[in-house]
Amino acid sequence: MLDISGLRLAVKQRGFSTPDGPRPLLLINGIGATGELFEPFVDAVEILSGREIITFDAPGVGFSSTPLYPPTIRQLARLVADMIDALEHNEVDVLGLSWGGALAQELAYRHPDKVGRLILTATMHGWTSTPGRPAAMSILLSPARYYSPKYLYQVAPTLYGGAIRNNRELMREHAQIRASRPPSTLGYTWQLMALRRWTSWPWLRYLTQPTLIMAGDDDPIIPAVNAEAMAREIPRSELEIVDGGHLFLYTQPAETAQRIDLFLAGGDTEREAGSMNRIRGRFITG
């Protein structure tokens, strides 16, 4: 537990960093989700075991305290930057999933010295983005799926799409973790409000970090067209379209982790003038 700017943050470090080893990888989860929900992904991926993995509960989620007033994405980025300092790291690689992808973008833009490489999975550029399917977006307005496993089973196919429709065991595991450490109603509302007021579109072109953008081709929440638009704007970016839904990181952990590890270990990605640096014809299938 870390006390930062008057808030209590629940943080977990897995593995160790050495001066001559790879940078730690910070994982930022989606709306209402604890850092613990990354555990099945990390457990399934031995390829990432050579680096320190950092997860945390966002304010209002899990064991972290809930702010009295709604923080902005910019304020949350400052909080994460202070958390990195408190963990005595100069620089980390960052993976943001969904809502966490918005926070990861803001962190990379406002605090570029803290972020080495950036991975944006199943995410968008804020209120300027192409919206998801109405049925999925209406489910997102409520944290009910965190309180009722039965409700989560019912709405998961509509909300997440992809292989989650046929992976009941994964949903059972997720439901248990979600119900054990749900977000507070106020904390979930603060997260929704922060995202509704935020966009990265005006400054995506100024991101300096090598960036891997991954999107599912069957994502009801965030259509892949948003990833394509972001890849056009971010100068040093790669785009990977995945054969999957919103939770492809969990339904295809080994395949996605292999691609992520390749990116983290690779050289800088540079885009030729006037062309999008994107990967065509390469699909990860579950």
Catalytic residues: 98
**CA proximity to 243, closest of 219, 271, 209:** 219
CB of 123 within 8 A of CB of 222?
Answer: yes
Residues whose CB is less than 8 angstroms from the CB of residue 93 and which lie 6 or more positions away in sequence, other chains included: 22, 23, 24, 25, 26, 115, 116, 117, 118, 119, 264
Q: How far apart are CA 83 and CA 56, in angstroms?
A: 10
With tokens 């300027």, the residue in question is 128
Is beta strand 53-56 parallel, antiparallel or unpaired with respect to 92-97? unpaired
What residue spans of the chain are helical by DSSP H?
39-43, 73-86, 99-110, 134-140, 144-147, 149-160, 168-180, 185-196, 225-233, 248-251, 253-265
Give dist(CA 161, CA 221) in Å, integer. Answer: 9
Radius of gyration of the chain (CA): 17
